[in-house]
Amino acid sequence: MSQTRIESMMDEKRLFEPPAEGRETAWVKSMEEYEALYKRSMEDNEGFWAERAGTLIDWFTPFTKVLEADMDTPSIKWFQDGTLNVAYNCVDRHIANGRRNKAAIIWQGEPDEDVKVYTYQMLYDQVCRFANVLKAQGVGKGDRVALYMPMIPELAVAMLACVRIGAVHSIVFAGFSAVSLQNRVQDCEAKVLVTADAVLRAGRTIPLKKNADEALRECPSVTRVVVVNRANANVDWVEGRDLWWHEQMKAPGISGHCPCEPMEAEAPLFILYTSGSTGKPKGVVHTTGGYLTYTAHTTQWVFDLKDSDVYWCTADVGWITGHSYIVYGPLALGGTTLMFEGVPSYPGPDRFWQVVEKFRVNIFYTAPTVIRSLMREGSEWTRKHDLSSLRLLGSVGEPINPEAWMWYHEHIGGSALPIVDTWWQTETGGIMISALPFATPLKPGSATRPLPGVDARIVRPDGTDAQPNEGGHLIIRKPWPGMLRGVFGDPARYKSTYFERFPGAYEAGDGARVDSDGYFWIMGRLDDVINVSGHRMGTAEIESALVSHPSVAEAAVVGMPHAIKGEAIYAYVTLSADVEETEELRAELRTWVRKEIGPIASPEVLQFADGLPKTRSGKIMRRILRKIAGGSTSDFGDTSTLADPGVIADLIEGRVDLT
Ligand code: 6R9
């Protein structure tokens, strides 16, 4: 994050009191209530969570053991002798409790006329049918199913169908390349892949099954591919492997009923891959009882979700935000969740506001990068629509700079609505630090206070507590139900990434400080992870994609400040001997990364460099590369360990400016 952004946040003094309207009916009504809940949750942590899990979730067998945890091993077990089923909690119970005809999912496709509404009853039918389809293809408890799909309702149906029968889904964002999909499918050894012919995006039809076909050339575990017809696009067909979704759902013997598999609370629910600072993406594992409790709990308190609300989270289901806050959290509570296929800028920059008006959306949850890009288009676009149905706004994915916060507050929130800036991660399962909308006074740019139950602290590199306003490592001391339970197939990495550096605590990998009011200010990643438009990209991943190109000898990737995306990818590339630095090659390398990982990983800037700043022991000094990418020409700190200090001047000279 840029220095100016950090400084402007340090200066931020404005305080916005929560609105009076909505307080009386809010789930948490005041700061006093928050303080009392927080205190109780720390003093009687297990009691607090047992109560939430008992209130929010229907258990087939109630749990008697709340927690067995050892943050050193680590081994974390919540509600371990309880059994439940997530699909039962997200669908079946709402049919019995009076919400049968309520809209569970309102789906807005990219073309405005493409709308589908699934009542809870209709969702039940679809989920049961697809669960039966999966069973017919030999999928059972514990088997992995990969989902590589656009933002269509079949994605939510497929997720719920998996969890209904105890299968573990692994969703791969549809913007990822064939290579990325292949790596993820190979890692979790999925039995079935569900995909679609194509993705509709900003008026274009982008093939999707083609990527899946390419990926599956080397995925022996996958025996069946189920394909949704989204766009009537041409597809290649592998007889005996490929099946059409719409044919299977009507196939003889596929009924609209399917029993829910009773699952142990600690049974794996899904795997979701996320970028780390080293090597390949990690398969973050979440489990059944804790994750569902945590997403239902946070959806209720942070979004103040009520039965009459239309709730819209604009994330893609391929990311954790979509898992927790489009599908599992809102459906567990019997809410109405809006699922949107399009993009914010098509057909015009008022698309989001038009959708808000069309469905009279009450709760709106998006990312700072979206706000910044729409802010740039001008506020006249927001005035074209009636936004008066909105009562609560949210933000997630990266720190929200105060300018964007103020624009969101004024132009979308009519200077009246609470904004919940929610800090959390793929690994945390759900929101950890956030305002409670009708209780917490807001400071623009701060995620405010940890939620009840969340023991968040800032520590120095040696593990001792930081003072107020002193920056340090953000850690969580007590376990919470939504925390990850593993890295798929790699227990050593699970321990070393999260639990080793600060014994007895979970290390988030973010830097932060707490001000004298106890408010948290997140300063960004401390590891080699770049946050591009709220998406985590590992620099190591991009570097390894670059060096796999025959013309590249060496590559170093860093983040640089970017006005819209927060951070952009800046790559330094040293070419192999005798390879010429040409514009064609520069373009080719960017396309190469797109193909290897996906469009989001393609470097914004690619600078050819004869040499990289290395220490005598051969370590690349990224600190220097970050400074040069950010436009610095001096103040590189201690450069005495550099093998060849001359490279700095060369790199500055070759710096590519973003135009
Ligand atoms: C939910 C999600 C996690 C990383 C996290 C942090 C950044 C997310 C934030 C935020 C400041 C917020 N982050 N929310 N930083 N304020 N409100 O985004 O998960 O994709 O795993 O990313 O995103 O750096 O460590 P994930």
ipTM: 1.00
User: Could you tell me the distance, in angstroms and rounded to a whole number, from the CA of residue 510 to the centre of ligand 1?
Assistant: 9
Residue 569 pLDDT > 60: yes
Residues contacting residue 79 through CB under 8 Å, at least 6 positions apart: 53, 59, 63, 65, 66, 67, 265, 266, 289, 290, 293, 481
Query: Which ligand 1 atom sits closest to the C-alpha of 319?
Result: 20
29-67 per-position pLDDT tens digit: 999 999 999 999 999 999 999 999 999 999 999 999 999
User: Could you tell me the distance, in angstroms and rounded to a whole number, from the CA of residue 277 to the centre of ligand 1?
Assistant: 15
How far lies 648's CA from each of 586, 608, 620, 628, 637, in Å? 21, 13, 12, 8, 12
- Tell me, what's the pLDDT at 266? 98
- Tell me, what's the pLDDT at 356? 98
Average pLDDT, the chain: 95
> Does ligand 1 come within 6 angstroms of the Cβ of 396?
yes
* CA–CA distance, 221 with 133 (Å, rounded to integer): 18
Domains 23-513 and 533-654 belong to one CATH topology? no
* Other Cβ atoms within 10 Å of 468 Cβ, number: 12
> Does ligand 1 come within 6 angstroms of the Cβ of 536?
yes
- Tell me, what's the pLDDT at 10? 59
> Does ligand 1 come within 6 angstroms of the Cβ of 398?
yes
Q: Give the mean pLDDT of 161-171.
A: 98
Residue 321 annotated in ligand binding: yes
Residue 8 pLDDT > 60: no
Q: Please state the domain extents for the chain.
A: 23-513, 533-654
User: Could you tell me the distance, in angstroms and rounded to a whole number, from the CA of residue 513 to the centre of ligand 1?
Assistant: 15
Q: Give the mean pLDDT of 562-584.
A: 94
541 vs 335 pLDDT, higher one: 335
Residue 523 pLDDT > 60: yes
> Does ligand 1 come within 6 angstroms of the Cβ of 399?
yes
Residue 360 annotated in ligand binding: no
Residue 259 exposed, middle or buried by CB count within 10 Å (0-12, 13-18, 19+): exposed
* CA–CA distance, 616 with 614 (Å, rounded to integer): 6
How far lies 29's CA from each of 11, 37, 460, in Å? 29, 11, 35
319-378 per-position pLDDT tens digit: 999 999 999 999 999 999 999 999 999 999 999 999 999 999 999 999 999 999 999 899
- Tell me, what's the pLDDT at 485? 98
User: Could you tell me the distance, in angstroms and rounded to a whole number, from the CA of residue 420 to the centre of ligand 1?
Assistant: 14
Q: Give the mean pLDDT of 218-247.
A: 98
Least confident of 236-245, 277-286, 335-344, 481-490: 277-286
- Tell me, what's the pLDDT at 640? 78
Percent of the chain scored above 70 by pLDDT?
A: 98
CATH class in words for 533-654? alpha beta
> Does ligand 1 come within 6 angstroms of the Cβ of 261?
no
Residue 536 pLDDT > 50: yes
- Give the start-end residues of each E strand in 498-565: 506-514, 520-525, 529-532, 535-538, 552-562
Q: Which pLDDT band, with edges at 50, 70 and 90, does 9 fall under? A: low
User: Could you tell me the distance, in angstroms and rounded to a whole number, from the CA of residue 525 to the centre of ligand 1?
Assistant: 9
User: Could you tell me the distance, in angstroms and rounded to a whole number, from the CA of residue 128 to the centre of ligand 1?
Assistant: 34
> Does ligand 1 come within 6 angstroms of the Cβ of 397?
yes
> Does ligand 1 come within 6 angstroms of the Cβ of 391?
no
Beta bridge mates, 456: 476
89-133 per-position pLDDT tens digit: 999 999 999 999 999 999 999 999 999 999 999 999 999 999 999
Largest Cα–Cα separation, the chain: 74
CATH architecture type of domain 23-513 = 3-Layer(aba) Sandwich (3.40)
How far lies 453's CA from each of 5, 257, 327, 476, in Å? 30, 38, 23, 10
In the chain, the amino acid numbered 562 is H
